Amino acid sequence: MSETRILLVLAGVLTLLCNCTSTKLRGDRIVVSVYDQRLSLIGKEGPVKTYPISTSKYGLGSQPRSYKTPLGKMYVCKMIGGGARSGTVFKSRRPTGEVVRPNSPGRDPIISRIIWLEGLDRYNHNTKERLIYIHGTPEERTIGTPSSYGCIRMRSRDVIDLYSRIRVGTRVYVKRSQLTMIEMPLATRLITASFKGIQSERSGNIGLR
């Protein structure tokens, strides 16, 4: 079996184990990595779970009407949509009664859950007024790449899961850089360490040739 296949199998097994053991764990803070396009939920005992996300396709910043994702320290100021069906469409933060399926053609509403953010830094104090949310999107095929209009987008099943693990007041930190090893769950750390080990071994072999 090739090294790549071994890593893929390891990733699948460890992710399954991580998801099983983290079923009922809650988080105290959220770290969003723009570089990784991932969100990490961290609890008192350490990282709980990571999710793929999408930040703005227009880049990073807090300028009004810029459609950019703000950086820095924030907190969850309001949570909307608890109990709503997956795919429920929200307009002005109210359910419209419509439900859309993932990757519905020509549709890009806010769906499933809304986690409203408020800035804590001087430069992102207007985050709430800019209507920056963590929310579900039907455009799940774009998750993992910068494709939003400023908000942090998630797949419906992921934002529903995240919503159930946090509360109003949960701290959020959005950063440019990669997640650190201590910001990753055990499964992700093991996969990353294995991949780096293989890369180092390959580099060493190349050097001996």
Count of the separate structural domains present in the chain: 2
pLDDT at 133: 99
Top-confidence residue, 91 or 15: 91
In this structure, the answer to whether residues 51 and 89 fall within a common structural domain is yes
pLDDT per position as a tens digit, 170-193: 999 999 999 999 998 876 666 666
The answer, as to whether pTM is greater than 0.85, is: no
Residue 124, φ and ψ in degrees, nearest 5: -125, 20
Residues 15 and 79 in one domain: no
**In 46-185, where does DSSP find H-type helix?**
156-165
Task: Please provide residue 25's backbone torsions phi and psi, each rounded to the nearest 5 degrees.
Answer: -80, 140
Same domain, 98 and 66: yes
Shared domain check, 69 and 147:
yes
Helix then strand count (H, E) for the chain reads 3, 10
Examine the domain organization and report whether 198 and 138 are in the same domain.
Answer: no
Q: How confident is the model at residue 108 (pLDDT cuts 50, 70, 90)?
A: confident
Examine the domain organization and report whether 157 and 70 are in the same domain: yes
Within this chain, do residues 1 and 46 fall inside the same structural domain, yes or no?
A: no
Higher pLDDT, 143 or 200: 143
Q: Are residues 90 and 135 in the same domain?
A: yes
> Which pLDDT belongs to residue 26?
87
Same domain? 197 vs 164: no
CATH number for 108: 2.40.440.10
Residues 111 and 197 in one domain: no
Q: State the average pLDDT over residues 122-151.
A: 98
Task: Decide the pairing of beta strands 94-99 and 72-80.
Answer: unpaired
What are the tokens at 152?
Answer: 């942090």
Q: Which pLDDT score, from 0 to 100, does residue 21 have?
A: 47
Residues 158 and 209 in one domain: no
**Tokens at residue 54, please?**
């999408």
State the pLDDT at residue 66.
98
Q: Measured between alpha carbons, how far is 176 from 114 in angstroms, rounded to an integer?
A: 23
pLDDT digits (tens, 9 = 90+) for 9-46: 555 555 555 554 455 688 899 999 999 999 999 999 89
Statement to judge: residues 6 and 43 lie in one domain: no
**pLDDT at 94 > cutoff 80:** yes
Q: List, in sequence order, the alpha helices (H) in the chain.
A: 3-21, 156-165, 186-208
Looking up tokens 């701290």 gives 171
List, as one string, the DSSP characters of 105-123. Answer: TT---EEEEEEEEEE-SGG
Query: What residues make up the domain containing 7?
Result: 1-22+185-209
Q: How far is CA 65 from CA 74, 117, 135, 149, in A?
A: 19, 16, 19, 10
- Judged against a pLDDT cut of 60, whether residue 209 lies above it is answered with no
